[in-house]
Amino acid sequence: MDCLANLDSIVVNQNIDAMEFFTSFSSNRKYSVRSNPKADAILYAVQDNKFADRQIRPNYFFTIKVMTKGMTQVMHVDSPRPDAYFKQPRIEVYAPPGNMIGIVKLQSMACPRTLHVLKNKDSEVEYVINAPGGCCGGGSLYHVVDAKKKEVAQIEKIITGAFKEMYTGADDFKVNFKGLDNRTKTILLGTVFFLDGLFYERSRARKVIGVVY
């Protein structure tokens, strides 16, 4: 993930899918990662999930592959099913594929909602990600703090306009991570995909059958 080394921020754009707009079904998510909103993409990401998982629980059990412009895979994000150790949703971030560099888990859906970043399942918490809005909900800015409660990064859900927000499942994010190492930047990129699935992906098919998560 050398392309992140000299960047202080990135923008993650989810591509609008025409099929999702005209039907009730979620398609595999696709993203472009840019150094700024007007720049060419430096990375591409694509979800690789079966049809049923996408419709019923697109925030759980997903796999996302991240590739360079030359279509070389440089990163893998896996959201496996909860197990005896991790009962809450989580992602495992691999860069390069096969080399796990961190875990991000949903610590609590209760007020306030938080996520924890770990090196592995046995390590101490490295960072805490606080969801926006506190107990009142709302807001679009996630604050990333270290063990000393110092803010080190921000993840912002970008409001893109009424049409895109209401009629498509496509979401955009900005990550500010100035001064962080490449490993942490890579984990925060993976966190964007996790947040999108947890809090923003809501297919009409899921609403019809009453699925909450």
**Can you tell me whether residue 196 is helix, strand or coil?**
helix
Q: Give the pLDDT confidence score for residue 172 in this predicted structure.
A: 93
In this structure, how many other beta carbons lie within 10 angstroms of the beta carbon of residue 41? 15
In this structure, how many other beta carbons lie within 10 angstroms of the beta carbon of residue 38? 7
Q: Give the pLDDT confidence score for residue 206 in this predicted structure.
A: 40
Which residues of the chain fall below pLDDT 50? 18-25, 51-52, 54-55, 58-59, 162-163, 165, 167-168, 203-213
Judge whether 118 and 126 are in contact, CB under 8 Å.
Answer: yes
Number of structural domains in the chain? 1
Q: Which CATH number does the domain housing residue 143 bear? A: 2.40.160.200
Q: Please provide the size of the chain in residues.
A: 213
Q: Give the pLDDT confidence score for residue 201 in this predicted structure.
A: 72
Q: Give the pLDDT confidence score for residue 163 in this predicted structure.
A: 46
Q: Give the pLDDT confidence score for residue 36 in this predicted structure.
A: 93
Q: Give the pLDDT confidence score for residue 33 in this predicted structure.
A: 97
Q: Give the pLDDT confidence score for residue 199 in this predicted structure.
A: 83
Q: Give the pLDDT confidence score for residue 88 in this predicted structure.
A: 84
- Helix, strand, coil shares of the chain, percent, nearest 5, are 25, 35, 45
Summarize pLDDT for 72-109 with one digit per residue, the tens.
999 999 988 777 677 788 999 999 999 999 999 998 77
Amino acid at 120: N
Residue 37 belongs to what domain range?
2-209
**Tokens found for residue 39:** 């720049």
Please give the sequence-ordered ranges of beta strands (E in DSSP) within 5-82, or none if there are none: 9-14, 30-34, 41-47, 63-67, 73-78
